Structure 1
Amino acid sequence: MPTTRRNVLAATGLALPCVLAACGGQPTQQPQPSSSSAPQQQPTTGPLAALADVPVGGGKLVDAGGRKVLLVRTSETEVKGYDPTCPHAGATVQPPTGSTIKCPLHGSTFDTASGSVTGGPAKSGLKTVAVKVEKDQVVLA
């Protein structure tokens, strides 16, 4: 029998896996679970903060059922909620001073009223978290 690649593979027991791989046999990796397109339920929590604890023109980082939320008080009666994860490198942004939220890692800045990026290196704004004021308490909306 001549020495060919096929004969060597067959003799060493590697022919079947090679044929399966070449012919689209079963994958060797376990399939990853698919993510559902259904919206995930947010955990029900009590108040995130008392309205009085979030200064007008400032903010406060709070825990909301295992995730952090940056509350920003833009007026006497309005509070905005943001995911405090900087979209550039994943650092936690700091509560605002004035109209600017700043990332301490690379200096990206974001607008307090909208969460939009006002200075890089971040290329996108902060993700919003729906919050509302109920009876002098800030809660998830």
Structure 2
Amino acid sequence: MLLCGLAAALAACGEPAPRKTGGAGTARAGDRVTPVSAVPVGSGVLVDMPGNAQLLVVQPQSGEFRAFDPSCPHVGSLVNPPTGGVITCPLHGSTFDPATGAVRKGPATSGLVEVAVTRSGDDLVLS
């Protein structure tokens, strides 16, 4: 009886939401990524993309925008938006330069992969 109750409780919870992956997903060149106003100077935001993916969009200096696949090259967990001038992976502590994506401290041995974006009016779009 206890097992039946446990099975019913688990079934009621439903399926867990799929884990987001890094990158542009199914978006294509010219697709809108985010409004320019949503990306704070000196920081950044994780943006949901089609296909259950995310991009990390940063504005290291006023008017300078870059986007990165937020998958840490070490084991693939998603990094956090920059704080205090650094992008950090919460899993093992790798850090990356928010202006270039270059690795600053391992265990990652390579930087974040850049995804080309350009400004189009008040929006950033995939290039």
Q: TM-score of the superposition, structure 1-length normalised?
A: 0.67
- Match in the other structure for 2:71: 85
Residues 1:58 and 2:43 are matched in the alignment = yes
State the Cα deviation string for residues 77-131 of structure 1 (Å, max 9, x = none). Answer: 1110100000001100000013210000000000011100000110110001001
| Distance in 2 between residues matched to 1:93 and 1:104, nearest whole Å | 6
**AA paired with 2:75?**
A
- Match in the other structure for 1:135: 121
| Distance in 1 between residues matched to 2:30 and 2:77, nearest whole Å | 25
Shift of 1:42: 5.2
Residues 1:115 and 2:123 are matched in the alignment = no
RMSD across aligned positions (CA): 1.7
Residues 1:72 and 2:69 are matched in the alignment = no
Shift of 1:45: 6.2
Q: TM-score of the superposition, structure 2-length normalised?
A: 0.73
Shift of 1:68: 1.2
Structure 1 ranges of 4+ moved more than 3 A:
none
| Distance in 1 between residues matched to 2:120 and 2:61, nearest whole Å | 15
Gaps of 5+ in 1: 1-40
Structure 2 residue aligned with 1:102, among 88, 93, 116?
88
State the Cα deviation string for residues 1-26 of structure 1 (Å, max 9, x = none). Answer: xxxxxxxxxxxxxxxxxxxxxxxxxx
State the Cα deviation string for residues 25-84 of structure 1 (Å, max 9, x = none). Answer: xxxxxxxxxxxxxxxx95356421111110000101112332211001122211101000
Q: Which structure is higher in strand share?
A: 2
| Distance in 2 between residues matched to 1:89 and 1:105, nearest whole Å | 9
Larger Rg: 1
| Distance in 2 between residues matched to 1:62 and 1:45, nearest whole Å | 16
| Distance in 2 between residues matched to 1:46 and 1:113, nearest whole Å | 23
| Distance in 2 between residues matched to 1:75 and 1:51, nearest whole Å | 13
